[in-house]
Amino acid sequence: MRAVARRDDETRAAVRQAVSVSVATGLYGVSFGALSVAAGLDLAQTMALSLLMFSGGSQFAFIGVVGAGGPGAAIATAGLLGVRNGLYGPQVAPLLGAHGWRRPLAAHLTIDESTAVATAHRAGPAARAGFWWTGAGVFVLWNAFTLVGALLGDALGDPRRYGLDAAAAAAFLALVWPRLGGATGRLARLVAGAAVVVALALTPVVPPGVPVLSAAAVAILVGMLVRPGPDDVAPDDEEARASGGGS
Amino acid sequence: MTWFAIVAASAVCFGLKLAGHLVPEHWLAQPRVARTAALVTVALLSALVAVQALTTGREVVVDARLPALAVAAVALVLRAPFVVVVVLAALTAAGLRALGMP
């Protein structure tokens, strides 16, 4: 009996964590909604991104690139930023044991936050509750707040007057920030610096959208060529994920 | 064209998530693969910071966005939440532009 009670406690703790992560993450859906409208997308397009793409980093990148860079660059950039969600699958799939229609549903809800909460608990009911409650909670609130942000952004008018262009840059900085910290971030900081230099150097000479993709190419080169060291990037650094940097 | 890009990019993102649930675990367990994916994320986001803050069209431009980004960085050092960081950057740029900075 006592073991059962402890398991219930742990499940309740996972659900509580899921709720607080969902509220925190959902709230910045407001900034996505407002920035998306400021970038020239309409309300339906903005909502489609939050409902169908449902991955903060990819969504911010998409609206940042699609205007100037065109559809090809936007698809490529959003897709590349979505690769890490693919790497979360093998971590959470064994915890969930989902089959049938639950499997694509679980896949759609596999983001930074749901993975972080699920893997923070022991395999079993707590991990499962953590994943589903976080995934569903972030999905509902992220979309609700995207709608609020898009309606607000529509009412505001000229985005530059309200500094929304600077807010977009700050959003990307906040998304990358947790990945640069500590001793494990040494190689990450190096790559980040190189990415900035490459993107700015190429901006005047190549079509829009290409500078950002070129920075990704630099990262792939470094990742494949540099011998992994003990204090290099921890790819799924707990802190990076738990802090909610980019759903 | 935007709708096409939205649907295609969403399909790519969902396909990646689903693939992660279907592939055998050991395929992605190689440290080099995981590390490269993490570095690609860092590079893309960093390049997006630079392009959003310092370019207009095909020109490198310094305007109110740069001090706003500096304020955002300070807020991040002080561990401010995401929404606060973004709002502070917007307020900084809006304030500087109200004072006449481009």
The pLDDT tens digits for A149-186 are: 999 988 887 788 889 889 989 989 998 998 898 777 89
pLDDT score, position A240: 43
Whether residue A204 is found in the same domain as residue A98: no
With respect to residue A176, please indicate whether it lies within any of the assigned structural domains.
no
Whether residue A29 is found in the same domain as residue A100: yes
pLDDT score, position A24: 83
Whether residue A29 is found in the same domain as residue A140: yes
With respect to residue A64, please indicate whether it lies within any of the assigned structural domains.
yes
SS3 B56: strand
Whether residue A95 is found in the same domain as residue A215: no
**Cβ burial, residue A17 (10 Å; 0-12/13-18/19+):** buried
Whether residue A154 is found in the same domain as residue A187: no
Contact A119, A127 (CB under 8 A): yes
Q: How far apart are the first and last CA of chain A?
A: 38
With respect to residue A213, please indicate whether it lies within any of the assigned structural domains.
yes
The CB density around residue A62, as the number of other CB atoms within 10 Å, is 31
pLDDT score, position A81: 92
Spans in chain A with pLDDT lower than 50:
233-247
Backbone angles phi, psi at A32, to 5 degrees: -65, -50
Helices (H), chain A: 2-27, 29-38, 43-48, 56-96, 102-108, 112-119, 125-156, 164-176, 186-202, 210-225, 238-242
Q: What's the pLDDT tens digit per position in A10-36?
A: 899 999 989 988 988 888 899 899 999
Q: Which of A101, A133, A162 is at the close of a domain?
A: A162
Q: Which of A162, A194, A217 is at the close of a domain?
A: A162
With respect to residue A212, please indicate whether it lies within any of the assigned structural domains.
yes
Contact A33, A150 (CB under 8 A): yes
> Which site among B6, B58, B96 would you substitute to test the A interface, given the most A Cβ atoms closer than 10 Å to its Cβ?
B6
Q: How many domains does chain A have?
A: 2
SS3 B34: helix
* Amino acid identity, position A203: T
The CB density around residue B11, as the number of other CB atoms within 10 Å, is 14
Instruction: List, in sequence order, every beta strand (DSSP E) within B1-102.
Output: 55-56, 59-60
pLDDT score, position A2: 60
Q: Give me the interface pTM, i.e. the ipTM.
A: 0.92
Whether residue A116 is found in the same domain as residue A65: yes
Whether residue A59 is found in the same domain as residue A150: yes
Contact A65, A77 (CB under 8 A): yes
Note down the domain range covering A210. Answer: 181-247
Contact A10, A118 (CB under 8 A): no
Query: What is the CA angle B16-B17-B19, rounded to 5?
Result: 65
Nearest to A224 among B32, B48, B52 (CB): B32
CB-CB neighbors (< 8 A) of B36 in chain A: 219-220, 223-224
Tell me, yes or no, if A108 comes closer than 8 A to chain B by beta carbon: yes
Q: Chain A residue with minimal CA distance to B76?
A: A174
Tell me, yes or no, if A246 comes closer than 8 A to chain B by beta carbon: yes
Q: What's the pLDDT tens digit per position in B44-73?
A: 999 999 999 999 988 999 999 999 999 999
Nearest to A215 among B27, B47, B54 (CB): B47
Whether residue A210 is found in the same domain as residue A97: no
Whether residue A151 is found in the same domain as residue A208: no
B16/A88 touch (CB, cutoff 8 Å), yes or no: no
> For chain B, what percentages of helix, strand and coil (3-state, to nearest 5) are there?
75, 5, 20
The CB density around residue B30, as the number of other CB atoms within 10 Å, is 11
- Tokens 């399909």 appear where? B11
- Tokens 């589903």 appear where? A132
CB neighbour list of residue A114: distance below 8 Å, 6 or more residues apart: A92, A130, A131, A132, A134, A135, A138
Whether residue A80 is found in the same domain as residue A149: yes
More confident residue, B37 or B69: B69
CB-CB neighbors (< 8 A) of A208 in chain B: 57-58
Question: DSSP letter string over A145-206?
Answer: HHHHHHHHHHHH--GGGGTHHHHHHHHHHHHHGGGT-SGGGHHHHHHHHHHHHHHHHHTTTS
Whether residue A75 is found in the same domain as residue A143: yes
Whether residue A30 is found in the same domain as residue A138: yes
